[in-house]
A = this chain, B = another copy of it.
Amino acid sequence: MTKTITVLPGDGIGPEVTESAVRVLRSVLEKSRIDVRFVEKKIGGAAIDAYGTPLPQETIDQCKNSDALLLGAVGGPKWNEKSMKRRPEQGLLGIRKAMGLFANLRPVETFQALVDASPIKRSFVENVDFVIVRELTGGLYFGRPSERRGPNQEQVVDTLAYSRQEIQRVVEKAFRLAMKRRKKVTSIDKANVLESSRMWREIVDLTAERYPEIAVNHQLVDSAAMQLITNPSQFDVLVTENMFGDILSDEASVITGSLGMMPSASLNADKVGLYEPAHGSAPDIAGQGKANPLATILSAALLLRYSLEMECEASQIERAVHDVLDHGYRTYDLQTAQQNEKTVKTEEMTDRVI
């Protein structure tokens, strides 16, 4: 059986961290019966430089013929000019839409070895273990109109649009995920203001009827933004629309103490998924061996779990990451000046995990 993984290194530290993750994947897959072919394609700023567009057709075609996609990160000051019509992020938004990746999963889990690196007190973050399920191809990100208006262009609108089916499918994903976990779903909306949130809430309640074992509650997004910090261990599966999910999942990353540890999976209706670290392209440290490859390595573990159905191998990688941290190995971003810490470069961190 041959599987194809398309690697989209992107910009900045993207190439370094995807290289690390590919090395880890190769070493795990070597021992399996599955034959995996890795194909590399350009996206983001790198694609703008090479093809004049952040998402070349060639990249889309290759992605559509893949079993899974592994992405580094996109963007950098080089492509940030206001005058530039084509921004690297459009590559990311474009591939999400082209592949129909409507459910973005962000696991937020405490690493015992890193608890003290969190800005939040130990007692609040010690037992955190939840997943944010963010809707990824609708809402304000893709709603039309999104434009200036009026005789002097002095009006502007963006549109938060959803269909019942778009909400339904991501809510369903969240409930299914909760069934394999602690059977608790927290749905986040702004139902006291938005009509879309009221529809969201109705659909969650309807879905809940089909999952009597699952405990469901609704939180307003402003309240959730507080509770993520004041009481994060209450959560199991959170589900929310695109923009709220963008904000809350970045906020949630402070719990673990480092964005450099946070993987993500973006799934569609098939098994094909896009796996990428939650962090950005960090152009300031690119090429110096300072990048933390762990978020990408953990994303590769999610790839094995969700796209290749290799649960055992996935948890092997996750355990290896925990072990390496427990042994005191730290990349630059994880330094806390504690005793026993050994600061290592990207490559050595990867070797240790392998």
Contacts and interface: CB of A to CB of B under 8 A. Distances in A.
A195 B226 contact: no
Contact of A199 (B143, B148, B223, B229): B148
A161 B253 CA distance: 30
B250 A223 contact: yes
A314 to B, nearest CB: 27
A163 interface: yes
A224 to B, nearest CB: 9
Given A121-B121, A192-B87, A229-B120, A159 B160 contact: yes
A205 to B, nearest CB: 9
A229 B254 contact: yes
Given A89-B193, A225-B250, 16 more contacts: A87-B192, A89-B192, A119-B124, A120-B121, A141-B193, A155-B162, A157-B160, A158-B196, A160-B160, A190-B243, A222-B246, A223-B250, A225-B225, A225-B251, A226-B251, A226-B254
A58 interface: no
B158 A154 contact: no
A248 interface: yes
A99 to B, nearest CB: 18
Contacts of A243: 190
A105 to B, nearest CB: 17
A165 interface: yes
A1 interface: no
A284 interface: no
The 6 residue pairs across chains A and B that have the minimum distance between CB atoms: A222-B250, A225-B251, A154-B164, A158-B160, A229-B254, A156-B199
